[in-house]
Amino acid sequence: MNEFFLKVYEIVRKIPRGRVSTYGAIARYLGTTKSSRLVGYAMNLSHQYDPSIPAHRVVNRNGLLTGKHHFATPTLMQELLEAEGILVKDNKVQNFDKVFWDPSKML
DNA sequence: GGTGTGACCAGCT
DNA sequence: AAGCTGGCCACAC
């Protein structure tokens, strides 16, 4: 477990309920904008290291649910988001600019 | 211990 | 305006 992953998880846990963030925003906050892929990779492994990480609150920069296939079922991610009051349509978060949570501004 | 592989993004054609 | 390319780096095999 290295520091990068730990920081990623730490930030994801801080995403408020009913808000979402992006891989790029998290990477940028950590000062490693170009390593945004690692953030996605971290999410991929998050379930085995620490299940309490709300990976469903992290989407790509367009608000697209690119990672839904990595959940238990392809619909689970959307269901979790909708359960928090986030509207999802066509694999995409609606009102994305409204629910977007930017760690570099909010922390 | 080298190589391939991403839940991505920005910049260039 | 839309598609392609490169970079990034931990991890599994």
pLDDT digits (tens, 9 = 90+) for A44-99: 999 888 778 999 999 999 999 999 999 999 999 999 999 999 999 999 999 999 99
- Which nucleotides of strand C lie within 7 A of protein CB? 6-12
pLDDT band at A1 (very low <50, low <70, confident <90, very high): low
Cβ atoms A3, A96 nearer than 8 A: no
Q: Which nucleotide is nearest to A5 (CA to C1')?
A: C10
Q: What is the pTM of this model?
A: 0.92
Neighbours of A26 (CB within 10 A): 26
Spacing of A44 CA from C11 C1' in Å: 11
User: Tokens representing A103?
Assistant: 């760690």
Which residues in chain A, range 45-74, keep a C-beta under 7 Å from any nucleic strand C atom? Answer: 45
With distances taken from each CA to the C1' atom of nucleotide B10, the closest residue turns out to be A34
What is the widest separation between alpha-carbon atoms in chain A?
36
